[in-house]
Chains A and B, each alone.
Chain A
């Protein structure tokens, strides 16, 4: 029987299948952070269980961490308490812990790939929906709830019904100024925020073959925003080159053995998907969102659709536009903005900061714009300094902050004030996501940079 990439990885991890029920799936790598793990550890202790394989779980602090003065004690007592709980739990159970200030600290989905925790053909879970990021390496990676975190700690397995399979192919070449973020926002705008619910996605075609590993991570990261549990891309030479030298990657003979498995990881010719979508790269332009879910995106040069032209509930659509302070038919270009956020597990990697630097170089931050530049990890922060990007940013009146999830979900002090507009490279434009009353417009680092230097929504192609 012909198998898809997803079938191959899934089937090789099934410990047991339950009739008219889920599969018991073995988990190779488990990542935890401070927000969704404390109650799992409480449950573990309450039932007098222990962590079955502590060396397969990795802890990092990211959601609550401040992005300035990380050397000082965390001022919010609740955040501090949660960070302490993570540290205590990790130490108590012998789990690797990269806390605040640790040289390897950063956003869980940024550091996993940086250190080779993320591997092709692995099953990877974390109590965070953007775990889909790791699918860029040909892993099955998806977000889980806290009960499931406890399951993995206890048994290194979770129980999941096998999802259906979808393939999204994008062929041909991309237009100038189009980045992986635009591609993902384009796909979500076509499929809607629930279009891939119940499916696991494989991204295929020339556009993804040509894409860098970091670009693939951005695309896979956003799979959840169309409802998919995860998305994956078959590993290739680019993947193997990227992971080869990383700290936790198998070495020597173990590498050779792993390569034998990894080289089988592709979708067989004539394998069957439950659903397929095919797009042309040339259809895609720089994107921006105008509403309160990631499916509400359009080409930056287009206008907000009229209620007659949308699918789904008109009341929900109007509620969304009211929240954003926009009207049907509004042109997006030229709308004034107040904040710019570059960072997050979606766009907080070095290539994102390079793209941002390319636009702001030789220009100045618009006076009315507050900009938060938050690297995804210490490693990214170091690279920003070493590559001379920091000088470009400072020259253009931007400051660099310290790593963490930051304004993506505003659990720390990085909150967009009520009613203000933020062009954000993060992943969600839900009501209040970046702070109560905040209005988020999702975009690529390139579009964010163009907004930061002009103070309004601007086509970045005019600045390249």
Chain B
């Protein structure tokens, strides 16, 4: 269709038509080449919008998390003793202090902030806000990152065990999936029916069906992460999922965006050439992708809806 349009339009052969033709062709190349379901980077990146630093001076930021209002939360997994919030006005402040070191954060349907802790103990815990009261949900585990479904099931990656573990809404803990190469990042589809898990030392993001009883089924290696040339380590890490079900997976090469069926849309450049390990949507309209990148937190406006 494209070249025939071009042929027919050029027949007009006037300056006025040529100018109009150029404008129409530009709009066509956007719509005709990026049809429904084709998730090119040009669909989500906004011309002129770049990474902005929103917090800095940390040892190693991680545990990116957004709330419904658009506030962003993170922690310094290497040196921190608090959960830090960046509000919609950009104000950076600790909301919970005297915390363990935290590598993963997510809100649950009960309004509590669930966390994976690294030291002094490796636990899965939940904080009440604003009191900061902490409840231990699981001990003797190796949690890295987690999600909480709207049905109340908590899933966390145990990277060293190659396992995803679930704490069901009734408080029972069990292995939900095994045999994943260093499972690290974890995410939920918008309808909370599909769980995604990234491999750190492998090349895949797995998708699972979340069964009604909290079990995981239909697991397969649905997404293939690009790796640096000459390696098979993607360093797939934390991920965010937008309202269209697109997955944004942090990795050694950058933030890899996949459509909801697992096809790679493209790789978004990291804000700096340092470990960039988790991300979440937050800010006004949850239209900013916030990323934890080593010593800093950055954000960038994305067409996330």
Mutual binders A and B: no
